[in-house]
Amino acid sequence: MKKKVKTDEMTIDMIEGIGPTTMTKLKNAGYMSVMQLAVADPYTLTIDLDIKARDKRKNLLRCTTGSSQLDNLLKGGIETHAMTEFFGEFGSGKSQIGHTLCVLAQLPVEKKGLDSNVIFFDTEGTFRPERVEEIAIARGEDPDKILDGLHLSKISHSATLELMVKDLAKYVEEFKSKMVIIDSLISLHRAEYAGMGQLATRQQRLNVLVHQLLRVAENYSVAVVTTNQVMDAPDTFFGDPTQPVGGNIIGHASTYRIYLRKSGENRVARTLDSPYHPYDEVRFTVKAEGVTDPEDKKKKIVEEALENEAV
């Protein structure tokens, strides 16, 4: 007797009549299950399958984080065509980075922005528009203009997040956005699929989610920024530091992973598992203007500039 497969467990390989080329295209575009294909809207599906391999490096942009030190760690800032994950314990600065990017991504390229609108998914209810206003004002930008360019979505169920991400290509085009921030990526799944028996389902759903995000990042020249709360320093875990929360999936999909920790008034950021960046550690801080360099670093930069002028 044939084993009965549940509808939500059916993969696209089980569909008869799909040729190998289309099958590869579908998989590359992140369509793995019959369910995903069934609920995909035709608009997104057409775009996904029509995407030609583009020269991604050609129009690669980098967005400043507000801290020259953190930018250095990222080799110039947050990259488009890539997914950057900030992970760390509570209060380590993940959400503040997100708030600061809401302002900075909208700045022109000459000011190290992306000249773009911003899409922000808030899954923890911690987004504060007035904080974005404060950061904009402190940086001499028009707060109303910045808030106009911000598309905020408060999400409280993992299914909603999945739906939004599934249609992200559409939103990115509609809002002309090159910066998508998800604060945080896995908290809803973590809460809803809490039992050990649900671990496989959770990982599978997160897997689909991160691959869809990567696909949008790569195909639409978008910088995808995610946050992930972890309970402890990576050194104290065996293997992957996000193991207790997100498993390996997030780590392997993110292009860049930055681990954040508190150090008094300052925050320390360091790279982890990056194929492009050597191990490195820098300091930044959070002030009225959002993420910025610590005072001593700023002083040093000014002193060096003055010295150079004097020569």
284 and 292 Cβ atoms separated by less than 8 Å: yes
Q: Please identify the residue of the shown chain whose CB is closest to the bound Mg ion.
A: 95
Q: Pick from ligand GTP, Mg ion, none: which does 90 bind, CB < 5 to 8 A by kind?
A: ligand GTP
Q: Which two tokens stand for residue 36?
A: 């995903």
Q: Is 90 in the site for ligand GTP (CB under 6 A)?
A: yes
Q: Give the C-alpha distances (Å, rounded to integers) separating 8 from 13, 39, 69.
A: 13, 12, 46
Binding mask 86-125 for Mg ion (x = CB under 5 A): --------xx------------------------------
CB of residue 290 vs ligand GTP: minimum separation in angstroms? 8
What 3 state SS string does the chain have?
Answer: CCCCCCHHHCEHHHCCCCCHHHHHHHHHCCCCEHHHHHHCCHHHHHHHHHCCCCCCCCCCCEECCCCHHHHHHCCCCEECCEEEEEEECCCCCHHHHHHHHHHHCCCCHHHCCCCCEEEEEECCCCCCHHHHHHHHHHCCCCHHHHHHCEEEEECCCHHHHHHHHHCHHHHHHHCCEEEEEEECCCHHHHHHCCCHHHHHHHHHHHHHHHHHHHHHHHHCCCEEEEEEECCCCHHHCCCCCCHHHHHHHHHHHCCEEEEEEEECCEEEEEEECCCCCCCCEEEEEEECCEEECCHHHHHHHHHHHHHHHHC
CB of residue 134 vs ligand GTP: minimum separation in angstroms? 7
Q: Is 67 in the site for ligand GTP (CB under 6 A)?
A: no
Residue (126 or 201) nearer to ligand GTP, CB: 126
- List the interface residues with Mg ion, window 256-275 (CB under 5 A): none
Q: Is 69 in the site for ligand GTP (CB under 6 A)?
A: no
Residue (175 or 237) nearer to ligand GTP, CB: 237
Dist CA 23 CA 35 (whole Å): 15
Q: Is 43 in the site for ligand GTP (CB under 6 A)?
A: no
Q: Is 143 in the site for ligand GTP (CB under 6 A)?
A: no
Residue (29 or 119) nearer to Mg ion, CB: 119
Q: Is 229 in the site for ligand GTP (CB under 6 A)?
A: yes
CB of residue 266 vs ligand GTP: minimum separation in angstroms? 10
Q: Pick from Mg ion, ligand GTP, none: which does 93 bind, CB < 5 to 8 A by kind?
A: ligand GTP
> In the set 64, 68, 69, 96, which binds ligand GTP (CB under 6 A)?
96
Residue (78 or 182) nearer to Mg ion, CB: 182
Q: Is 92 in the site for ligand GTP (CB under 6 A)?
A: yes
Q: Is 288 in the site for ligand GTP (CB under 6 A)?
A: yes
Q: Pick from Mg ion, ligand GTP, none: which does 80 bind, CB < 5 to 8 A by kind?
A: none
CB of residue 188 vs ligand GTP: minimum separation in angstroms? 14
Q: Which two tokens stand for residue 231?
A: 């309970």
CB of residue 282 vs ligand GTP: minimum separation in angstroms? 16
The pair phi, psi for residue 99, each rounded to 5°, is: -60, -40
In the complex, the residues that contact Mg ion under the rule CB under 5 A are: 94-95, 126
Q: Which residues bind ligand GTP (CB under 6 A)?
A: 88, 90-96, 126, 131, 229, 286-288
